[in-house]
């Protein structure tokens, strides 16, 4: 694996590879890698000739400074895991390399409705930060294929919109969520939970599964109210949202016709850690 810290050196290197006909796949991460990230690397390796990963904890996407300060950093094991997974190139920039002009006057993106709901509503500025870093990273790497996790369902939609706004010829390929045996979606933030909290946190998965099993056409408000109670009873401190939305547009669906494709999405706090998860609803 070749390590780059300088953006212009990486761009130059990748341009040569592209000109020689090699396709470039890209997996952006914030490090503290787990099996979910490694699945993205595997998908990237099977889809593209060159697999590029990045590790950069982007300060502009954290609306909560405590969350940024406590974000886990495990660089040594990350390097080993990427090497073992066969990643070809790692981009490991510092903040000044990504935001050479500082972070005060960064672009603002027209994300429309997507920024006003769910994660956009509960984490003001978060998706602008995601776009600021992705604009920069994609500009540096300019991959043919971009691999991102379905676990961050709304983020995939936001980045798709960024790619459309920039008219870039990049295909975004969403990769299914990797889970612990308990069903808990793997996340770097899980490292901040103790064993008991990890077991309790599996309630997000079981609750989403139950929604999928019990959903009927008609009004869905009782279903989401019951799901919220189940999550709180399992030991969560607070539920930011549990929502049933159109799988393509993310508009909330309160009355289901039995045909529209739905996705159930949840965000909740346990032990001061905010977790998110989602599940496409079977049969929808």
Nearest distance from C-beta of residue 229 to ligand AMP, angstroms? 26
With CB under 6 A as the rule, give the number of residues binding ligand AMP. Answer: 17
The footprint of ligand AMP on residues 56-85 (CB under 6 A) is none
CA nearest neighbour of 42 among 140, 200, 138, 178 = 178
Q: How far is CA 214 from CA 20, 72, 108, 176, 207, in A?
A: 53, 37, 41, 23, 10
Nearest-5° Cα angle at 170, 166 to 171: 130
The footprint of ligand AMP on residues 1-30 (CB under 6 A) is 29-30
In this complex, which beta carbon is closest to ligand AMP, that of residue 187 or of residue 224? 187
Instruction: Annotate 159-172 with three-state secondary structure.
Output: HHHHHHHHCCCCEE
In this complex, which beta carbon is closest to ligand AMP, that of residue 9 or of residue 35? 35
The dihedral of CA 28, 32, 33, 37: what is its sign?
Answer: negative
Active site residue 259: no
Residues 133/95, Cβ–Cβ less than 8 Å: no
Among 79, 178, 193, 275, binds ligand AMP (CB under 6 A): 178
Nearest distance from C-beta of residue 46 to ligand AMP, angstroms? 15
Question: Which residue reads 């079977």 in tokens?
Answer: 282
Nearest distance from C-beta of residue 156 to ligand AMP, angstroms? 7
Longest dimension (CA), the chain: 58
Residue 277 corresponds to which tokens in the numbers above? 């998860």
In this complex, which beta carbon is closest to ligand AMP, that of residue 185 or of residue 223? 185
What SS3 class is residue 64?
A: coil
* Stretch near ligand AMP under the rule CB under 6 A, chosen from 42-50, 65-73, 83-91, 174-182: 174-182
Nearest distance from C-beta of residue 206 to ligand AMP, angstroms? 16
Residue 18 burial (CB < 10 Å; 0-12/13-18/19+)?
middle
Catalytic residue among 37, 122, 167, 259: 37
* Stretch near ligand AMP under the rule CB under 6 A, chosen from 13-21, 62-70, 182-190, 234-242: 182-190
* Stretch near ligand AMP under the rule CB under 6 A, chosen from 106-114, 148-156, 206-214, 254-262: 148-156
Active centre residues (catalytic)? 37
Interacting residues with ligand AMP (CB under 6 A): 29-30, 36-37, 39-40, 148-149, 151-152, 175, 177-178, 185-188
């Amino acid at each position: 694996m070749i390590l780059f810290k300088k953006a212009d050196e990486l761009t130059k290197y990748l341009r040569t590879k592209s000109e020689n006909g090699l396709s470039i796949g890209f997996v952006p991460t914030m490090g503290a890698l787990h099996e979910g990230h490694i699945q993205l690397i595997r998908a990237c390796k099977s889809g593209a000739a060159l697999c590029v990963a990045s590790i950069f904890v982007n300060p502009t996407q954290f609306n909560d400074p405590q969350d940024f300060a406590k974000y886990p950093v495990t660089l040594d094991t990350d390097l080993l895991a990427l090497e073992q997974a066969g990643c070809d190139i790692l981009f490991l920039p510092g903040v000044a390399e990504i935001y050479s002009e500082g972070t005060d006057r960064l672009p603002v993106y027209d994300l429309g409705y997507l920024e006003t709901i769910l994660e956009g509503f509960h984490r003001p500025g978060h998706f602008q930060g995601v776009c600021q870093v992705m604009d920069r990273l994609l500009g540096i790497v300019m991959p043919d294929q971009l691999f991102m996790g379905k676990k961050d369902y709304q983020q995939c939609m936001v980045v798709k919109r960024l790619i459309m706004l920039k008219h870039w010829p990049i295909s975004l390929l969403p990769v299914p969520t990797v889970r612990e045996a308990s069903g808990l979606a793997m996340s770097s933030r899980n490292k901040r939970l103790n064993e008991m909290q990890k077991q309790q946190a599996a309630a997000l998965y079981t609750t989403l599964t139950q929604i999928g099993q019990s959903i009927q056409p008609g009004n869905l408000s009782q279903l989401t109210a019951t799901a919220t109670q189940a999550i709180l009873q399992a030991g969560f401190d607070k539920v930011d949202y549990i929502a049933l939305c159109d799988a393509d547009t993310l508009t909330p669906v309160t009355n289901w016709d039995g045909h529209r494709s739905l996705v159930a999405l949840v965000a909740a706090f346990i032990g001061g850690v905010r977790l998110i998860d989602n599940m496409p609803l079977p049969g929808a």
